[in-house]
Homo-oligomer: A and B are copies of this chain.
Amino acid sequence: MSIRIGIYGYGNLGRGVECAIRHNKDMQLVGVFTRRQPETVKILTEEAKVYHVSEAEKMQNEIDVMIICGGSATDLPKQTPALAKMFNVVDSFDTHARIPEHFEAVNESALSAGKTAMISVGWDPGMFSLNRLYAEAVLPDGQAYTFWGKGVSQGHSDAIRRVEGVADGKQYTVPVPEALDAVRSGKNPELTTREKHTRECYVVAEEGADKAKIEAEIKNMPNYFADYDTTVNFITAQELKEKHSGIPHGGFVIRSGKTGFDLEHDNIIEYSLKLDSNPEFTASVICAYARAVFRLNKEGSVGCKTVFDVPPAYLSAKTGEQLRKELL
């Protein structure tokens, strides 16, 4: 019997989830729920249907896990607590500072309805968080570092596009190689924001725009660019399309920690991701956790969970016996 999945919101992440379901044999996409007119939304899966979000309520018996693919700024804080009253849910809420309040709201809904909800699933938060936790638990005397990139930051790309005279643009976050090397050496360096990452911008200027002015405005933009060494490259719309239309990302979680009676030995734990498609990978993590949510709920384990609460075996379609034999 497959796990019946609903996708709530059909942007890049929703499409990624659709792809991941296709490659997980024990899962089946039942429907995509959209705020648009359903007949205007084309999906890739023949067997599934498109519904208006208002129809979700009627589908409670058709769907085992609803994967919520809205944005963290305004969608998820409302959607996840509301849907957790009707469905087992997974979201990818990624506003780190607001996770505690989101957790409380979702936990209350899920507990009251006997549902299982997982928030903040993806790679950061998600796989990176797991690696921060495991590494800290194993090497309590140490220091942790997270680097992002090389990859496209959607937020920073949007910020570039809002600058006057900019027709289009893309921003890459790039970890500084010297900083990575210093961390890997076990020196436990104190690194400033500027020392950890650089920002590379590829900008298509509108005709007749003042490029020097655009460049200065980007480089001095507070929060987004002012604290970084930023480079601005002006290119044509054609080149942007050809060379910068992907959504790659990745990064590194490194912990440098000491062991020994007098902490005389250095040890480095490093986890890294190199992703051709950020949303597809995030979606793949979400699908593995949708399997876990389905199982946890069957066992009566309800309420809000994070990746910290789920035994790794619950993510795999294999039995405990298989896992011990093949992967341990």
- A residues adjacent to B (C-beta < 8 A): 16, 18-20, 22-24, 44, 96, 99-100, 103, 120, 125, 127, 129-134, 136-141, 184, 259-261, 263, 265-277, 280-281, 283-285, 288, 291, 306-313, 315-317, 320-321, 323-325, 327-328
Contact = CB atoms under 8 A, between A and B. Distances in A.
A301 to B, nearest CB: 10
The 8 closest A-B CB pairs, nearest first, are: A265-B276, A137-B315, A259-B280, A308-B313, A268-B274, A137-B288, A265-B277, A132-B327
Nearest to A247: B265
27 contacts: A16-B259, A19-B259, A19-B260, A23-B259, A44-B261, A99-B324, A99-B325, A127-B134, A132-B327, A133-B323, A136-B316, A137-B317, A138-B285, A259-B281, A267-B274, A267-B275, A267-B280, A267-B284, A268-B273, A268-B275, A269-B271, A269-B272, A270-B273, A270-B274, A271-B272, A308-B323, A310-B311
Nearest to A120: B328
Contacts of A273: 267-270
A327 B131 CA distance: 9
A129 B328 contact: yes
A148 to B, nearest CB: 15
A188 B283 CA distance: 22
Contact of A259 (B141, B284, B315, B320): B284
Contacts of A310: 311-312
Stoichiometry, as copies per complex, reads: 2
A132 to B, nearest CB: 5
Contacts of A311: 308-311
Contact of A138 (B288, B306, B328): B288
A261 B16 CA distance: 8
Contacts of A260: 19, 277, 280
A100 B309 contact: no
Nearest to A45: B261
A137 B127 CA distance: 12
A272 B273 CA distance: 12
A328 B280 contact: no
Nearest to A134: B312
Contacts of A307: 312, 328
Contact of A20 (B24, B125, B259, B266): B259
Nearest to A103: B324
